[in-house]
Amino acid sequence: MSNFLPNELVKRLNEQDGFDTEAFNRVHEQGDKITAIRLNLWKQPTVPFEDGKPVPWCDTGYYLTERPVFTLDPLYHAGCYYVQEASSMFIAHILAEIGLKNTASRALDLCAAPGGKSTLLTSYLGSESLLVSNEVIKSRANILTDNMSRWGASNIVVTNNDPSAFSRLPGYFDVLMVDAPCSGSGMFRKDRDAIDEWSLANVKLCSDRQKRILAESLETLVTDGYLIYSTCSYSREENEDIVDWIQTEFTFESVPITLESDWNIEETKSSKHNAFGYRFYPHKVKGEGFFVAVLQKKAKQSTFNRKKIKIEKNSAPSNILADWTEQQAAHIPFMHGDNIHIFPKKYEEDLRWFQQVLYIKQAGTNIGKWTGRELLPSHDLACSIHIKTDLPAQDVTRDVALQFLRKESLAIEDFPAVNAGWCLVRYKGTNLGWVKVLPNRINNYYPKEVRIMNL
């Protein structure tokens, strides 16, 4: 037995045929840290680190041999990549396998913070899709909003709702991602503190919570829609047993996913319905503990009344879009308070449905505050993949970029490209945010709440 892993957990794992308890214990005792990133191809088509090695099941994922100080990399703040656990990137392979990559799908990421799986979903579902990214805890919903804004797409709605709120949208989503709150045993190598919090009682508590979350949200899937269920737990009660429970209580079919043998991902079967599941063990894969299963809804699902909603008169000045954004014809502008947002025109009616039943934190891209005469551009616009490419801009050195990201004073000599007015700060050709160039100084408009604080 391991000296520090919970004996009851190791005992249960050891009961599985062929489980290598010794290797499992050893990899936790060694405590190696695995660092991986996933690229935002809308902004960063190449790996920004010399030592990046591909994650085999995700074509935008890369392992790094050492963990850099991401806080000191301007490209991280620009949303060029997301630091994500490699095992979780398997969702990219799943989306391709079930035929949803680059489709006009409607997706819900129900337990989305901090945003790793949501940024993956929006990237792989593609620009024609619509993603609702939800987090029930308010403070975590704020982090989620920041990360999704940094990613730069406009086809995202961030919400702050209990899962039960989505029962008001029956038969709406093509894919439901539930990365369920769990007992966290899969993170023991990465987070030793989680070991002290683990218990069989907590596993049971998490299992009950997972059932509640699923029971309140499965109705949102269309007939033949897909549920992607995942945890970072090793316990059957939170994994295969939950999949069995879904198939017992609801009409779902298990969906097998093709694996490459050299990935060393373990395919499992649930005890009652022989449903497929996929387990990632850190002594077998280069990643942390993870479980995922895919199920397809086969019940006939009724939907809500989709009669056309009367669109209220839009007071947003649509002519302003041409001055600041690309693809104006693909977007509608709308006012939220004093701010102008853009949102995919094809999903305008969908947004109105959401506004009736959900608490929305962010919809589309906030491009700036409208004063009645001019637009004061937002940080979200600077991060947007839809921003106009020929706006005034200055590429800066790494030192100047870090000064900007700390919201420090900037020297006017570092901005020779712009004589006056709004100017994008760029690092290696990627937008970081805004300054305003005045005759004798530079005003730094980087948001105070996300500035680099201590490094």
Binding residues: 111-117, 135, 162, 179
Between CA 360 and CA 366 the distance in angstroms is: 13
Element (H, E) at 228: strand 221-231
The answer to whether 365 touches 158, Cβ cutoff 8 Å, is no
Between CA 436 and CA 360 the distance in angstroms is: 31
DSSP code per residue over 377-400: E-HHHHH-TTB-TTS-EEE--HHH
Binding-site residues for S-adenosyl-L-methionine, in ranges, read 111-117, 135, 162, 179
Q: Which are the contacts of 240, defined by CB distance < 8 A and separation ≥ 6?
A: 268, 269, 270, 271, 275, 277, 293
Q: What residues does 339 pair with on adjacent strands?
A: 336, 369
How are strands ordered across the β-sheet holding 339-344?
Answer: 331-336, 339-344, 365-370, 375-377
Between CA 429 and CA 44 the distance in angstroms is: 10
Between CA 166 and CA 157 the distance in angstroms is: 13
How are strands ordered across the β-sheet holding 393-395?
Answer: 393-395, 421-427, 430-437, 442-444
- Name the active-site residue from 182, 232, 383, 423: 232
Side chain identity at residue 442, one-letter code? I
Question: In angstroms, how far is the first alpha carbon of the chain from the final one?
Answer: 41
How are strands ordered across the β-sheet holding 35-39?
Answer: 53-55, 58-64, 35-39, 81-83
Between CA 401 and CA 72 the distance in angstroms is: 10
Asked about 232 being catalytic, the answer comes back as yes
Active site residues: 232
